[in-house]
Amino acid sequence: MAKPQAFETLAIHAGQPPDPATGAVMTPVYLTSTYRQTAVGETLGFEYSRTGNPTRKALEACLAALEGGTIGLAFASGMAAIDAVVHLLSPGDHVLAVSDLYGGTYRLFQRLYAQYGLTFSYAEPQDPQRFIASARPETRLIVLESPTNPMLNLADLSAISDLAHRLPRKPWVCVDNTFATPYLQQPLSLGADIVVHSTTKYLGGHSDVVGGAIVIREPELAERLAFIQNAVGGVAGPLDSFLVLRGIKTLAVRMDRHAVNAQAVAQVLSQHPGVEQVYYPGLPSHPQFDLARRQMRNAGGMVSFRVRGGPRAARRFAEATRIFALGESLGGVESLVEVPAAMTHLSTADSGLAVDPALVRLSVGLEGAADLVEDVERGLKAAG
């Protein structure tokens, strides 16, 4: 049997052989909605681009290889991918999710799907037994983020998947792997059933595309999700698929450098008198530092912290940095800063899941580490 290929090799080549027609090394962008049939119902493998498109197919194959799944499905956004997963459920089903999850996911659950007979509850993931104790007899889906957005808490994916699969309805365990990427951790190999991504973030990596993905290993579940993808139609377009594919080629080197820079920034923050607390799984002070070392290749590029001086100080920090651009999103080569309570997680305000308004979230990019540290010090000075 052939030796399994390294992650870096798969990222550059899986699903992307040189174009057989021209030898083009980069996957062509097939800007076509339909395909000529050779006879009625006889195709060369593609019939209509909602159902399948060669550029999207290359991305889907690459994603499946990187996550260790059998099938990848590419969507128009991370939310479209999560929405497709919720379509697996029926009225009466219950979803148990981590308590600090992306605000848009919370909004989708509470403001849309709660109207359709689904119920949702939320629990902290740090203690797997306690988390699973919040499941109900009708729990059909478990939604995890690890690290969580924005508190950088970790879930022990293997322990939670194991406990979940012993519940009466054997709920599917779905992991939003956006923050970690398959380079840092592969949830399917730890026992999860479904991986979702906002490919907008590290997979795309250059802040130039919005996209999403699902990867599954089990064939029957894969077939159901592929059916939903085609039936609902929130698919990734060919140009977007190309951009994500191109981003993925450098994922490994980018993630290594994101982590080096994030560690430098987290270190400086943790020693600064103007900072109350830093949340970064690469710091020994993180309560799940050991789990991070076990479960993740490195601690990633996201750092959150609470500034001394409350919400106003947090805003002053976010408005004072010059390299860290004030903006939503994350995972690009350029550094970003935001105040989650007022920006990405606004939809959790007035809920039990509201984020501390003094929390600042950094997406640490690939600029020079010394410049980033200097910029953070500038922000802290302005925060007062």
Ligand X SMILES: Cc1ncc(COP(=O)(O)O)c(C=O)c1O
Pair type for strands 359-363 and 275-279: unpaired
* Tokens, residue 315: 């805003």
In the complex, least distance from residue 206 CB atom to ligand X, rounded to whole angstroms: 14
Is residue 247 at the binding interface for ligand X, with CB under 6 A as the rule? no
3-state class of 242 per DSSP?
helix
CB nearer to ligand X: pick between 58 and 210: 210
Integer Cα distance of 197 and 203 in angstroms: 9
Which one of residues 104, 125, 204, 282 is an interface residue with ligand X (CB under 6 A)?
Answer: 104
Is residue 313 at the binding interface for ligand X, with CB under 6 A as the rule? no
Q: Annotated catalytic, 201?
A: yes
Is residue 102 at the binding interface for ligand X, with CB under 6 A as the rule? yes
Of 102, 122, 279, 280, the active-site residue reads 102
In the complex, least distance from residue 315 CB atom to ligand X, rounded to whole angstroms: 20
The DSSP result for 258-305, as a single string, is HHHHHHHHHHHHHT-TTEEEEE-TTSTTSTTHHHHHHH-SS--SEEEE
The interface with ligand X within residues 161-200 (CB under 6 A) comprises 176, 178-179, 198, 200
**Where does this chain touch ligand X (CB under 6 A) — which range of 33-41, 62-70, 76-84, 132-140?**
76-84
Burial of 357: CB neighbours in 10 Å, binned 0-12, 13-18, 19+: middle
Which one of residues 78, 147, 205, 300 is an interface residue with ligand X (CB under 6 A)?
Answer: 78
- Which residue's CB atom is positioned nearest to ligand X? 78
Is residue 99 at the binding interface for ligand X, with CB under 6 A as the rule? no
CA-wise closest residue to 63 among 155, 196, 163: 196
Size of the site for ligand X (CB under 6 A): 15
Of 50, 107, 224, 316, the active-site residue reads 50
3-state class of 115 per DSSP?
helix
Which one of residues 53, 77, 139, 153 is an interface residue with ligand X (CB under 6 A)?
Answer: 77
For the range 162-169, what are the long-range contacts, defined as Cβ-Cβ under 8 Å and sequence gap of 24 or more? Answer: 162/191, 163/128, 163/129, 163/132, 164/132, 164/135, 165/191, 167/132, 167/135, 167/139, 168/137, 169/137, 169/138, 169/139, 169/140
Q: Annotated catalytic, 381?
A: no
The mark string for 201-220 relative to ligand X (x by CB under 6 A, - otherwise) is ---------x-x--------
Residues that bind ligand X (CB under 6 A): 77-79, 102, 104-105, 145, 149, 176, 178-179, 198, 200, 210, 212
Catalytic positions:
50, 102, 176, 201
